[in-house]
């Protein structure tokens, strides 16, 4: 499994349970992260870009380590500036090296609407088509029930960007993978998220740990466009059971 994400912590929020499942089965998980997350603060005096980038890189390693994932790579794209670049070739190089059966990333909507998320989706989708079209491609999303249940929390956390024109509201029947994580996997996911202290500590304090746990208990993916007539990796339903 190859995860392609924009910022350190994206991978934990959207796929920590999925990664843990792969690791438990003895599978290989590799993460490619576009930026070092140097703009992810509202206190740039305390966290100037170089300092925050170094800290978030360490947090990424610790977070993945909590899940048993040892391989990750940074593309060194500028946080907030991915839309001005094209790292398709770099991602294709990682795909060619890893030869994944499954690639997970953002959908074209970027989930939250972040321009970095949208750019990474475009890069990963194009790279998969060029380098390994037989790999399955899953886009992280949320179902309509996520909005219904967590509307107040999403607003308090400013989860969706105000200029997001196409907030995802997937039907559960349209999902290729929809996992309500059991407590053992959720515990691993919470450990992975807690390692991203600069990004998660204040949010956990804001909403409370019990709410935070349930907010991120479910992971949902829709299948991306087919790039090959014979997809090798059909489903993870057996792992979600």
Domain boundaries, the chain: 2-240
Interior angle at CA 190, CA 28 and CA 181, nearest 5: 70
Each residue of 123-139: pLDDT tens digit? 999 999 999 999 999 99
Mean residue pLDDT across the chain: 93
Rg (CA), the chain: 17
Rounded to whole angstroms, how far apart are CA atoms 151 and 232?
Answer: 37
- pLDDT confidence band for 235 (50 / 70 / 90): low
Comparing CA positions, the residue from 158, 172, 137 lying closest to residue 203 is 158
- 138 touches 128 (CB < 8 A): no
Closest CA to 103 of 148, 68, 135: 135
**Position 229 pLDDT exceeds 80:** no
Q: ∠99-100-105 over CA atoms, to 5°?
A: 130
Q: How many CA atoms are closer than 13 Å to the CA of 140, on its beta-carbon side?
A: 29
Share of the chain above pLDDT 70, in %: 94
pLDDT exceeds cutoff 90 at 227: no
- Residue 154, classified by CB atoms within 10 Å of its CB into exposed (0-12), middle (13-18) or buried (19+), is middle
Q: How confident is the model at residue 6 (pLDDT cuts 50, 70, 90)?
A: very high
Please report the beta strands in the chain, taking only residues with DSSP state E, as ranges in sequence order: 2-5, 30-35, 71-77, 102-106, 136-141, 177-180, 218-223
Q: What is the pLDDT of residue 239?
A: 40
Q: pLDDT digit string (tens) for 139-180?
A: 999 999 999 999 999 999 999 988 777 889 999 999 999 999
Specify the DSSP class assigned to residue 85.
-
* Rounded-to-5 percentages of helix, strand, coil across the chain: 50, 15, 35
**DSSP 3-state assignment of 221?**
strand
Rounded Cα distance between 156 and 151, Å, is 9
The CATH number of 2-240 is 3.40.50.10320
Instruction: Phi first, then psi: give them for residue 70, nearest 5 degrees.
Output: -110, -15
CB atoms within 10 A of CB 26: 6
Q: Strand, coil or helix: what is 6?
A: coil
Between CA 193 and CA 24 the distance in angstroms is 19
CB 227 within 8 A of CB 133: yes
Q: How far apart are CA 194 and CA 201, in angstroms?
A: 7
């Amino acid at each position: 499994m190859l995860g392609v994400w924009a910022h350190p912590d994206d991978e934990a929020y959207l796929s920590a349970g999925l990664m843990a499942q792969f690791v438990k089965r003895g599978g290989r998980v590799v993460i490619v992260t576009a930026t070092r997350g140097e703009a992810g603060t509202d206190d740039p005096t305390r966290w100037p870009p170089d300092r925050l980038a170094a800290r978030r890189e360490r947090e990424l390693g610790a977070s993945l380590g909590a899940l048993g994932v040892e391989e990750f790579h940074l593309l060194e794209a500028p946080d907030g500036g991915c839309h001005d670049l094209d790292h398709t070739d770099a991602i294709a190089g990682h795909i060619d090296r890893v030869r994944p059966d499954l690639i997970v990333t953002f959908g074209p909507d970027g989930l939250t609407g972040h321009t970095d998320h949208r750019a990474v989706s475009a890069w990963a989708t194009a790279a998969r088509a060029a380098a390994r079209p037989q790999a399955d491609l899953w886009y992280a999303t949320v179902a309509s029930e996520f909005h219904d249940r967590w509307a107040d929390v999403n607003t308090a956390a400013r989860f969706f960007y105000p200029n997001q024109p196409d907030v995802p509201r997937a039907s559960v029947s349209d999902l290729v993978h929809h996992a309500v994580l059991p407590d053992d996997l959720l515990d691993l996911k919470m450990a992975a998220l807690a390692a991203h202290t600069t990004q998660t500590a204040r949010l956990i304090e804001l909403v409370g740990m019990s709410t935070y746990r349930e907010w991120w208990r479910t992971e949902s993916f829709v299948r991306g466009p087919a790039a090959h007539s014979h997809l090798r990796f059909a489903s993870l339903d057996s792992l979600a059971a």
